Amino acid sequence: MLYDLPRSDARVRWLVTLLLATLGVAYVFGAWMVGIYAGFTPRSVAATYVEPAGMNMPMPADRTMVVEHDVTPADMAREEQHQVDRALLIQDTHVHVPMYGVIAAVLSVVVLGIAIPRWMGFALITLLFAAPWLDFMGMWLTKLVSPHFAVVTLAGGWAMGLGYTIVAALAFWQMWRPERGVRP
Amino acid sequence: MKALLLGAAAAALLHITPTVTLVERSEVVSRLLPGADRFTAREVHLSSTDERRMHDAAGWTPPDDVITFYLGKRANQVEGVLIFMRVDSPHGPLEVAVGFDTAGAIRGVEVTKATVETKPWVVEALRAGLTDHYRETPPVAAPSVKGKVGTMSEYMAELVDRGVAHAGAAYRLFYR
């Protein structure tokens, strides 16, 4: 490890603890939000990110088409499947990817301070950065190539949660485990 | 570390917060299409030519090139038309419902959705009477709350105004 987080000053360990706790809360609410807007199944994720049917509908280039059908007030009130169109996905990617990069970097700094084998450090850091890449790659591939790529987004989301859980568990354990008559 | 913290703060500030419903659509339907007992959705799929017309008229094109008009009918007579218009901003989308009467005048405007972040600004603008002035024919172009509310609420008023303008153009060009 590059520095010794478990034996660092109690203030540093407290800072890392609060940081990880805060990120944990953010992840829990992030998962909740995903549950509301996109769901956790490949089908619901694909429905969120796939290119809307209208865009693929063969339309006569020079003629506007009108379709009418009866609806009830309940139909009008029904929440449509939340869809992320291309413009919104561009904005989401622009906003989220830097933030995910910062979070992955912060967690990687924690990884550098905990006592784990070198290969595991590489693997964890790779996982932390790969997760958001998979997440957004899945969204774009779902939109541009095939709805089947929704599983890549799901894999990215779960990888993000897994990476955080491993780092937080190792850090909490190593920072605060009771040691024979020495701490804090 | 400072750069990291600033980056995290900037990212948090840019994050779009979840959508909140200000008024249920069902409530809006009863307010803006009063008396209607039958409803029809008219979906207008724009050709590339009409998409350009729309863009030239309002500086806007509908998502997926589809505009949906909800017609409220009584005894097979159209009593009014309703459009739900989404307006995007860096702070998240607003949804504005614009109702037209049979003469094509605006019957009413309601902001149905905002985000957790924008809701207080929208509510402040609404309390200052933002949507009241649309019930005139023709509607006043500039937001009527300018100078009466904070900067962000004025900005929300501009977005609502934009939504109403888009709905008005869509109605003029593709409904009438």
- Least CB–CB distance from A67: residue in B43, B48, B49: B43
Is residue B54 within 8 angstroms of chain A, CB to CB? Answer: no
Give the per-residue pLDDT at A13: 93
The rounded Cα B51 to chain-centroid distance in angstroms is 19
Indicate which of A66, A69, A81, A100 best probes the interface with B, i.e. most B CBs within 10 Å of its own CB.
A66
pLDDT for residue A182: 54
> Which chain B residues are Cβ-neighbours of A63 within 8 angstroms?
47
Judged by CB atoms closer than 8 Å, whether chains meet at B47 and A59 is answered as: yes
Tens of pLDDT, residue by residue over A10-23, are 999 999 999 999 99
In a domain, B14, yes or no: no
Q: How far apart are CA B107 and CA B168, in angstroms?
A: 12
Out of B15, B25, B38, the one facing A76 most closely (by C-beta) is: B25
Structural domain contains residue B6: no
Phi-psi domain of B59 (left: phi exceeds 0; alpha: psi -120 through 50; beta: other): left
pLDDT one-digit tens code per residue, B21-74: 999 988 999 999 998 999 999 999 999 899 999 999 999 998 878 899 999 999
Interface probe, candidates B26, B89, B175, chain A, greatest A C-beta count within 10 A: B26
Name every residue whose Cβ is closer than 8 Å to that of residue B135 and which is 6 or more positions away in sequence: B106, B107, B108, B109
**Do residues A111 and A172 touch, judged by C-beta distance below 8 A?**
no
- The minimum CA-CA distance between B147 and chain A, rounded to whole Å, is 31
B29 to A76: CB separation less than 8 angstroms, yes or no: yes
**Does the pTM exceed 0.80?**
no
pLDDT of residue B11: 44
Partners of residue A59 in chain B, C-beta under 8 Å: 45, 47, 65
Whether the CB-CB separation of A143 and A50 falls below 8 Å is answered with yes
CA distance to partner chain B, nearest, from residue A172 (Å):
21
Structural element, H or E, at residue B86: strand B77-87
In a domain, B12, yes or no: no
Number of domains within chain B: 1
**pLDDT classification of A79: cutoffs 50, 70, 90:** low
**Dihedral angle of Cα A23, A28, A32, A35, to the nearest 10 degrees:** 100
DSSP for residue B22: S
Q: Tell me the Ramachandran region of residue A156: left when phi exceeds 0, alpha when psi lies from -120 to 50, beta otherwise.
A: alpha
**Minimal-distance CA residue of chain A relative to B87:** A88
What pLDDT does residue B4 have? 46
Contact list, A62 vs chain B (CB under 8 Å) = 47-49
Residue B39 forms beta bridges with which residues? A71, B72
Per CB-CB distance under 8 Å, the chain A contacts of B16 are 91-92, 95
Report the pLDDT averaged over residues A123-145: 94
One-letter amino acid of A84: V
- Calculate the CA B66 to chain-centre distance: 15
Interface test with B, best of A67, A76, A84 (most B CBs within 10 A): A76
Given a contact cutoff of 8 angstroms between Cβ atoms, the answer to whether A22 and A103 are in contact is: no
Tens digits of per-residue pLDDT, A90-110?
988 998 999 999 999 999 999
The three-state secondary structure class of B106 is strand
Contact A66 B50 (CB under 8 A): no
Domain range for residue B84? 19-174
Residue at B9 is within a domain: no
Domain-located, residue B151: yes
In a domain, B93, yes or no: yes
With beta carbons less than 8 A apart as the criterion, state whether A38 and A82 touch: yes
Encode A22-39: b = buried (16+ Cβ within 10 Å), e = exposed.
ebeeebeeeeeebeeebb
Contact check, Cβ <8 Å, B11/A105: no
**Min Cα separation B145/chain A (Å):** 29
Q: Where are the domains of chain A?
A: 10-176
Sequence letter at residue A70: D
**Distance (Å, whole) CA B94 – CA B47:** 26
For chain B, report the end-to-end CA distance as a whole number of angstroms. Answer: 60
Exposure b/e, B141-163, CB count within 10 A at least 16 = b: eebbbeebbeebbbbbbbbbbbb
Q: What angle do CA A22, A26, A28 make, to 5 degrees?
A: 115
B11: distance to nearest CA of chain A, Å?
Answer: 5
